[in-house]
Amino acid sequence: MTAGTAIDHVDALIVGAGLSGIGAACHLQTGSPGTSYAIVEARGTSGGTWDLFRYPGVRSDSDMFTLGYRFKPWTDAASIAGGDDILRYVRDTAKEHGVDEQIAYHRKVLGADWSSADARWAVTVEDTDTGEISTRTCSFLFLCAGYYSYDEGYTPTWPGQEDYAGALVHPQFWPADLDVAGKRVVVIGSGATAVTLVPALAETAASVVMLQRSPSFILSMPTRDAIGDRLRRWLPEKRAYAAVRWRNISLGTLMYRLVRRFPDRARRFLEGAARRQLPEGYDVQTHFSPRYNVWDQRLCLAPDGDFFAAIRHGRAEVVTDQVDTFTPTGIRLASGRVLDADVVVTATGLNLMPLGGIELSVNGEPVRASERVTYKGMMLDGVPNMAFVIGYTNASWTLKADLVSEYVARLLAHMERHGYDVATPRLPARRMDKRPLIEMTSGYFQRSLDKLPLQGDRTPWRLRQHYRKDAAMFRRRVDGPEMEFARRAAP
């Protein structure tokens, strides 16, 4: 690894060229048109998650009218879309807005230090092709790299794993040459990835078993939005998109509030829906009745009920048990049953990596995210001129990403108009209770609680999973009492 000395300055440096980063750049161009910006991307291509994940059946886990950008109508027929279609949508957006010309690839941000004297960030960047280290400076740092590690997924270690002679695959790194046709496949896991994989693999595999330690709630949802199709025939494209988007936001918010208020009814509804799609006498209580309440963990979607159809037609099986040990030819379970497998897929989750794994510091003092409180779920108390994107856990990621990017654009425009160089969220003097930023019980969140920032007990320090309320909060004036503005001190 060699050291470089190149320094390149922009008003805003966006880290990540995925769904969030592309959207952030588009919002900056429209909301703060005088702002110079650049995007740095650690990988060699744009698209983020939708370029990285290549496993069979990869798709959205929410409707595209809300996963799509607010400013860019989703025009394809499918409301639940495949990964390739989403990737094309993101790249088309970048091209239409000229954002693709602002991306520097193979540039991994290692760290960033804020200088109060200079009112700018010095960002340490590694060229992943050559290992060369360089420094870029920016007035505002915008982290859009998601919240999980692209370098490794989460895979537990099981007894006997080294003896297994078949293929052991994590969905995050699906081999391009892996053919499951005619093979026996076991998918370990019960989350969104497993629910996506099982029906896709069942189309060609000899057998597919989803091995889960505990069940998840699964909701069937139509791939096509019938009302949306009608509206798009009757209304201009943008008006139809806006109407369907707001309808879906409203329905999603209402559903979330109802299931949280009436958890027992929600459980009975989802169990009943599963029972109607499965063979008569199927043990729904064992395989589809989780210990947690609905939306304590993210709800899994089955487009057109494809997951249940695979079971109903005998192409897939769900087994609720625990791994005792791997064998050379498969897995022996705690119950004593043996699952023969040519391929084992470990759909066991992600490794969270808050703030893109970037080491932040302010005037040389390290910033420990786990000790900071988030402002509007997008900035850290006491950290100047820095924002990040973490989407909703109970709705489409892009709903929150759009709000954050709109706010950052308005904030930068406000600072430009008033001659401010620095914007820093400051905690209130009045005592505030603090809690983990994400309060879901999913394993990948629970494993990373000590790395995540905190949230407070009241607005704007509380992270609310409610788009309408957030939209009202984000679109208020940017110069609220919690935001401290300052000019750089004269040299």
The predicted structure's pLDDT at residue 480: 87
For the chain, the helix, strand and coil percentages under 3-state DSSP, each to the nearest 5: 30, 25, 40
CA distance 396 to 253: 11
Long-range contacts of 419-423 (CB under 8 A, 24+ apart): 419/487, 420/485, 420/486, 420/487, 421/119, 421/139, 421/486, 421/487, 421/488, 422/116, 422/119, 422/384, 422/385, 422/484, 422/485, 422/486, 422/487, 422/488, 423/384, 423/385, 423/483, 423/484, 423/485
Q: 3-state DSSP call for residue 71?
A: coil
**Nearest of 473, 265, 314, 266 to residue 378 by alpha carbon:** 473
pLDDT bracket for residue 1 (50, 70, 90): very low
Distance of CA 14 to the CA centre of its chain: 17
Tens-place pLDDT, residues 403-431: 999 999 999 999 999 999 999 999 998 89
The predicted structure's pLDDT at residue 349: 85
The predicted structure's pLDDT at residue 152: 83
417, amino acid identity: R
CB-count burial class (<10 Å; 0-12, 13-18, 19+) for 151: exposed
Phi-psi region of 119 (alpha: psi -120 to 50; beta: other; left: phi over 0): left
Identify the residue whose tokens are 């009943």.
272
Q: 3-state DSSP call for residue 485?
A: strand
Q: Which domains, and CATH codes, for the chain?
A: 3-150+351-486 (3.50.50.60), 155-348 (3.50.50.60)
184-188 and 350-352 strand pairing: unpaired
pLDDT bracket for residue 491 (50, 70, 90): low
Tens-place pLDDT, residues 269-316: 999 999 999 999 999 999 999 999 998 888 999 999 999 999 999 999
Residues 367, 360 contacting (CB under 8 angstroms): yes
CA distance 465 to 450: 21
CA distance 339 to 372: 46
Report whether pLDDT(442) > 70. no
The percent of residues in the chain predicted with pLDDT above 90, rounded, is 79
The predicted structure's pLDDT at residue 2: 32
More confident residue, 143 or 447: 143
195, amino acid identity: V
Residues 379, 204 contacting (CB under 8 angstroms): no
Tens-place pLDDT, residues 385-407: 999 999 888 889 999 999 999 99
Measure the CA angle with vertex 477, ends 30 and 98; round to 5°: 10
CB-count burial class (<10 Å; 0-12, 13-18, 19+) for 162: exposed
* Encoded tokens for 274: 């599963």
pLDDT bracket for residue 440 (50, 70, 90): low
| Contacts of residue 453, Cβ cutoff 8 Å, sequence gap at least 6 | 354, 369, 370, 372, 373, 374, 380, 437
Give kind and range of the element (H or E) at residue 242: helix 237-261
Tens-place pLDDT, residues 100-153: 999 999 999 999 999 999 999 999 999 999 999 999 999 999 999 988 888 888
More confident residue, 159 or 490: 159
CA distance 427 to 450: 21
Average pLDDT, the chain: 92
Report whether pLDDT(356) > 90. no
pLDDT bracket for residue 366 (50, 70, 90): very high
Identify the residue whose tokens are 């009436």.
262
| Contacts of residue 92, Cβ cutoff 8 Å, sequence gap at least 6 | none
pLDDT bracket for residue 447 (50, 70, 90): low
